[in-house]
Structure 1
Amino acid sequence: MVNVDDIIIAREKMKGVIHTTPLDYSKTFSLLAHNEVYLKLENLQKTGSFKARGSYNKLISLTEEELQKGVVAASAGNHAQGVAYSSQMLGVNCTIVMPKGAPLSKILATKQYGAEVILEGATFDDALSFALELKEQRAATFIHAFDDEAIIAGQGTAGLEILDQLPDVEAVICPVGGGGLIAGVAMAIKEKNPHIAVYGVQTVACPSMKQSLIEKSPVIVDSTPTMADGIAVKKPGQKTFEITQKYVDDVYCVDEMEIARTMLMLLERNKLLVEGSGACSLSSLLYEKVKLKEKKVVAVLSGGNVDMNFISRIIERGLVESGRFAAFNITLKDKPGELQKVLSSLTDLEANIQSVNLHHMGKNIYPGYAQLEISVETKNNEHIDILYKVLKEKNYSVEMTDFQP
C-alpha cells in the first residue's frame, strides 16, 4: 500500500522535471468566500495539469526492461498529455489511445510530446478496451489514470508543496474524479498534520466518489454531460476509494452554473484560464458547499487545458449565468421609428446592444407587427429585471429567451 514516504521519495525524484507550482493568495476570492483563500496553480504545471506528477512518478518506477517495451494509456484529456510528456522526458516509446471524438487540440498536444496517437472507438470505454488489447499485443505497460500506487504518490507531491508553502493551512480542497489527486494530497497532508481538513469536490453530473462513500464501496453512477469533463469518472478506483475513505473529511458537489461562473471569475479577476474540473474546488467555496469561515484555505486548481473552441462558449455561459448577458423577443408595430424607440429604451438604461434581428414575417407575426430578437450586455440580474420591467411598462410584448452555448 502506498504511504507518505513514497510521496516524499517521489518529490525528490521529480525535482527539475516537474514544476513546484505557485500558491497564490487571492484577496478577491478571500472577500467573496469569507476565508483566506489561496490558489494552488496546477493549471501552470507541465502539460497544463497535475497529471504530469503521477505519470512521471509511475514511469520512473518501471524497470529498464519495462521501459524498453514502451507504455500504453487511454485518455481523451490531461492523462494523455501527462503520460506523453513523461515518456518524452525518459525516452520511452508511448502510445495513447483516444476516442475518435477527442478534441483536435488535445490530439495535437499529445503528439507534440512525441506520443503515437491512435484514434479508436466513439467513447472513452472503447478507447480503453483497445488500449488494453494493444498492451497485451505489444507486451507494454499500461499506465492507469488514477488507480495506481505510483500515480497516487506522484499526485500527492502537490500536498507536500502546499504544506511547505503554507504551513498553517487549515483546509485543502481538491477536485475529485477517479480519486488519484485527492488520495495523494489527503494522505500527504493528513500524515503530516491530521488536524488539517481535506475536502473533495465533484459535479452533480457525476458524483461517483460521493456516492461510493455513502455506499461504502466503489460504485458506478449515471453521468450527464458536464463542462468538468476531466472529473466525469463514473466509478472511482479501489485504491483511491480506500485512501479517500480513510483521510478525506467529506466530498461535496457543485453544479454547471456554479462551475461556469467560477471559470469566468478566475479568468476575469485573476487572469487565470482554468478548466471546469479545476474550477470546482474554488466553486465549492464561493457557493458555500464547504462550510468554512475565516479559515486559511487552499483550493487546488487542477488544470487549465480548455479546448480553444470551447473557451468562448464557457465565457458566454458564465456571462449568462452571472446576469451579464440577456436576450429578448419583443413584438412591436411595423412602422418607421419603432425599432429606434426600443433601442433607445435599452441604451438609456446602459444596456450594450450585442445583436439585432428584425423579422417582418413569420408564423406568430400578425399583419402590421414585427418580431425583434435582441441580445444585450448587462451588469447583473437586477439590471436585466429593470430592462424587462421598463419594456413592459412601455406596452411592448416581451419574452426573455433562453441562451444555449
Structure 2
Amino acid sequence: MDKTLTASLARLPVSFGDIEAAAALLAGSVKRTICDRSRTLSDITGADIWLKFENLQFTATFKERGALNRLSALSAEERRRGVIAASAGNHAQGVAYHAARLFIPATIFVPVGTPTVKIENTRRHGTDVIEGGATLEEATALAIEHGRQQHLTFIHPYDDPLIIAGQGTTALEMLGAVPDLDILIVPIGGGGLISGMAIAARTLKPGIEIIGVQAALCPSMYNLIKAQQLPMRGDTLAEGISVKAPGRITSEIVRALVDDIVLVSEQRIEQAVSLLITIEKTVTEGAGAAGLAAVLADEARFAGRKVGMVLSGGNIDTHLLSSVLTRQLAREGRLTQLRFDIADRPGQLGTVVAILGKMGANIVEVSHQRIFTDLPAKAVLLEVVIETRDRAHLDATIAALKAANIDISGH
C-alpha cells in the first residue's frame, strides 16, 4: 500500500479495525451471504460477473449489518429508553429486526409512499411505524424531533461510523471469497455501504477499482462529488438509493476512496431487475439491481474484468415488480398491443385471430370497440395484446397481417 493511500485511510473516521470488530460482532447474528459467479450474466455482458446476494439476508437487505453494529453499542440506559430511525424501508427493517432481538423498543418514521412490503415487514417485528414527510429528509427531521421529545436514541441510516463499519463487512466477505476481483460496483444512496466497503477493499486490495452507482433521477452524491447540478426528481424505481442529502462522513470517504460514480437510467434498472429474476431466479429491488444496470449501460468499460456487485436488497412491492416485468417483456417484443381498423362485418375478427394463430402468437387480451372511437360508423377498433417469442417473431407476425391487407394502426 502506498504512503498516500495509507495516509488517506488514517485520516478517515472509520478504520479497517472498526470493520474487523464489526465482523466479529455480527458473526452468527447476520448471515454471511454467498458471493457467486453468474455464468449467464457474464456471457451476456462480456464481464466476469460476481454477485453478493445481500437480498438473501433475513430482512432481505444489507442494512441489518450496520443496524446491529450500532444497536450493540448502546448503553443500558439507551436500550431501556429505546431507539428511533427514519428510512425508506430497508434501514427500518434492519433496525426493527435487531432491536426486537435485543429487546430494545423501536420507532420508525418512513416517507409517505414507501412500498407497502417494506412497511409491513417492519411492523412484523413489533415496531411502531409512522408514515410522515414526502421525502426521506422530511421523515428524518420528524424522527429526530420525535426522538428528542421522547428521549430516544436516533439511529442514522448511513452517516454514522458504526453503521459504516457494519456495512463494510460486506466487502470483507466478498474479497475473502473472491480475492482477485478487479472492480467493486456499489449502489449509493446516502453512501454508508460504499464508504464501509471502500475502506475494507482499499485496505485488503489497494489497487481495486471502486465505482458507485446512482439512479439518474436522484444523482445527489454524483452532484456533490463531481460539482454538478443535475436535476433531482427522486421518483425512481430504486427508491432505496433515492437520498437527496448525502452524509457528511460518507461524502468525505467517497471523495477519498471511490474512483468514479456513474448514473443509470430507469430503463436499465428495470432491465437489470428483470434479468436477475429470469436468469438468477433472485428478486431484487431497483437499488439492488443498480450495479448490474451500470454494467449493461457500458459493457465495453467492464469487458474482460472481474466485477463484484452487491445485490443490496430484495424488498420490492409485488405490484411494482409485476409492472417492471411486463414492461420489459414489451421492450423485448415478447408482449405487444396491436390496433386494427377493421370493417364492422362478420368474419373480420376471425381473420385476424386465424393469422395470429397460424403465426404462433398467443392472444392475451382482446378489445372490440364500436362506440368510443373516432372511426366511421361502419368500422371497428380492434385492440389485441399478443405474446411472441422475441422481436423477430413479432416482426414476422406483423408482416403476415399486413400481407393479408389488415390495417394495423399502431403497435
Same fold by TM (over 0.5)? yes
1:392, distance to aligned residue in structure 2 (A)? 3.2
- Who is 2:381 aligned against? 371
Query: What residue identity is the alignment partner of 1:240?
Result: T
SS of equivalent to 2:28: coil
- Who is 1:83 aligned against? 95
1:229, distance to aligned residue in structure 2 (A)? 0.9
Instruction: Give yes or no for contact 2:137–2:245 (8 Å, CA) kept in 1.
Output: no
1:224, distance to aligned residue in structure 2 (A)? 4.1
Separation in structure 1 between the aligned mates of residue 190 and residue 196 of structure 2, nearest angstrom: 12
CA offsets 1:155-213 (integer angstroms, 9 cap, x no match): 00000001110011111111111111111111110111111111111111111112211
Separation in structure 2 between the aligned mates of residue 46 and residue 286 of structure 1, nearest angstrom: 28
- Who is 1:237 aligned against? 247
Count the aligned residue pairs.
399
- Who is 1:277 aligned against? 287
- Who is 1:98 aligned against? 110
- Who is 2:270 aligned against? 260
- Who is 1:204 aligned against? 216
1:345, distance to aligned residue in structure 2 (A)? 1.9
Q: Please say if 1:391 is aligned against 2:405.
A: no
Structure 2's unaligned 5+ residue stretches are 1-12
Instruction: Give yes or no for contact 1:252–1:290 (8 Å, CA) kept in 2.
Output: no
Instruction: List aligned pairs for 1:21-32, cutoff 5 A.
Output: 21-32=33-44
| Range with bigger deviation, 205-214 or 220-229 | 220-229
Instruction: List aligned pairs for 1:345-364, cutoff 5 A.
Output: 345-364=355-374
Partner of residue 175 from structure 1, selected from 168, 184, 187: 187
SS of equivalent to 1:46: coil
| Runs of 4+ with >6 A deviation | none
Instruction: Give yes or no for contact 1:261–1:321 (8 Å, CA) kept in 2.
Output: no
SS of equivalent to 2:139: helix
Separation in structure 2 between the aligned mates of residue 295 and residue 144 of structure 1, nearest angstrom: 35
Partner of residue 166 from structure 2, selected from 150, 154, 158: 154
- Who is 2:7 aligned against? none
Q: Please say if 1:288 is aligned against 2:298.
A: yes
Identity of aligned residues (%): 39
Instruction: Give yes or no for contact 1:52–1:83 (8 Å, CA) kept in 2.
Output: yes
Partner of residue 200 from structure 2, selected from 184, 188, 193: 188
Separation in structure 2 between the aligned mates of residue 339 and residue 108 of structure 1, nearest angstrom: 46
Instruction: Give yes or no for contact 2:187–2:241 (8 Å, CA) kept in 1.
Output: yes
Separation in structure 2 between the aligned mates of residue 358 and residue 340 of structure 1, nearest angstrom: 12
What is the alpha-carbon root mean square deviation over aligned residues?
A: 1.8
Separation in structure 2 between the aligned mates of residue 249 and residue 160 of structure 1, nearest angstrom: 19
Structure 1's unaligned 5+ residue stretches are none
- Who is 1:334 aligned against? 344
1:311, distance to aligned residue in structure 2 (A)? 2.2
Distance change >3 Å, CA 123–CA 186, structure 1 → 2: closer
- Who is 1:323 aligned against? 333
Separation in structure 1 between the aligned mates of residue 170 and residue 332 of structure 2, nearest angstrom: 32
Instruction: List aligned pairs for 1:6-45, cutoff 5 A.
Output: 6-45=18-57
1:122, distance to aligned residue in structure 2 (A)? 4.5
Distance change >3 Å, CA 124–CA 170, structure 1 → 2: closer
Please give the TM-score of this superposition, normalised by the length of structure 2: 0.92
Instruction: Give yes or no for contact 1:254–1:289 (8 Å, CA) kept in 2.
Output: no
Please give the TM-score of this superposition, normalised by the length of structure 1: 0.94
Partner of residue 223 from structure 1, selected from 199, 215, 233: 233
Separation in structure 2 between the aligned mates of residue 132 and residue 341 of structure 1, nearest angstrom: 66
Q: Please say if 1:132 is aligned against 2:144.
A: yes
- Who is 1:115 aligned against? 127
